[in-house]
Amino acid sequence: MKEKKSANNPSKLTRYTTILVVGIIVGLVAALLMKTLNASAVSDKSYQDLQNSIIEYQRKNEELNNRNVHLYEYIRELEDDLASGKGGESFLRIVEEKEQYAIFAGLRAVRNKGVSVTLTPMSGYKIQDIVIQQFVNELSALGAQAISINGERKVATTEIRANQDSIIINGVAYSRESPFDIKAIVPPSKIDTYIVPYLETVAGNLREQIGNDALAIAIRSESSVTIPALEEDRIAYQKELLIPVE
């Protein structure tokens, strides 16, 4: 009985998709018609303006029709997949691609072998943002595919900056007098032979610049590193100002 129910779900999903698409298109066409009728009712509209409005309406209507054709072609493709016994491979492909993009964008937690760098300020020393940035940049150059700082996922829009008492990461403030834990997933084959030794060299150079009694730096190879997903309430996640270009 469960197998029969599972087999019916793709066809139901296809019907629901068809109904939703048709409903959206009908709504858009109706909205455009109302807009044109309202424009036509304005008394001071010139004949040329009305003619331009009609041309624009025809253009948008043609665009909607073209989109409608493409959507129905896609729906037929999905139905053909189901009818041929492929089990909705198109749906699975779309879901898989979406998940890969989410992983790449930092919207999914990930894990693998990696390294950790712990920066612990000594008494009276405040960590500088440039120190954290240097290790993050070095890890990126070493092939890190995911990085976090104090559990904050680093993405393309992540900022790391300092004010008088805090380091700001993804809009969250962390005390400059507290430890900072940087984790990264890096190529496993290079961790012990190259990455850790290289990071130790970077740490040595920093100690020479700021002094051995200012900052303790611990670099470790990790058999399993978990990098959390970017949280939705972080400033780096915001996207309401972004308008897609068609």
CATH code of 171's domain: 3.30.70.1880
Q: Based on the domain organization, do 184 and 93 belong to the same domain?
A: no
Q: Is residue 116 part of a domain?
A: yes
Q: Is residue 235 part of a domain?
A: no
Q: Based on the domain organization, do 55 and 137 belong to the same domain?
A: no
Q: Based on the domain organization, do 81 and 149 belong to the same domain?
A: no
Read off the pLDDT of residues 10-58 as tens digits, 9 standing for 90 and up: 555 555 555 555 556 655 555 555 555 554 444 455 666 666 667 776 7
Give the per-residue pLDDT at 142.
95
Q: Based on the domain organization, do 86 and 166 belong to the same domain?
A: no
Q: Is residue 245 part of a domain?
A: no
Please determine, for residue 104, whether its predicted confidence score (pLDDT) is greater than 50: yes
Q: Based on the domain organization, do 121 and 199 belong to the same domain?
A: yes
Nearest to 138 by CA among 179, 209, 186: 186
- Which of residues 102, 117, 136 is at a domain's end? 102
- Which of residues 102, 122, 146 is at a domain's end? 102
**For residue 197, what are the domain limits?**
109-230
Give the per-residue pLDDT at 87.
56
Q: Based on the domain organization, do 113 and 226 belong to the same domain?
A: yes
Q: Is residue 219 part of a domain?
A: yes
- Say whether pTM exceeds 0.85: no
Q: Based on the domain organization, do 91 and 114 belong to the same domain?
A: no
Q: Based on the domain organization, do 89 and 168 belong to the same domain?
A: no
Please determine, for residue 121, whether its predicted confidence score (pLDDT) is greater than 60: yes
Q: Based on the domain organization, do 131 and 223 belong to the same domain?
A: yes
Q: Is residue 239 part of a domain?
A: no
Q: Is residue 237 part of a domain?
A: no
Q: How many structural domains is the chain composed of?
A: 2
Please determine, for residue 108, whether its predicted confidence score (pLDDT) is greater than 60: yes
Q: Is residue 238 part of a domain?
A: no
Q: Based on the domain organization, do 146 and 74 belong to the same domain?
A: no
Q: Based on the domain organization, do 224 and 113 belong to the same domain?
A: yes
Q: Is residue 199 part of a domain?
A: yes
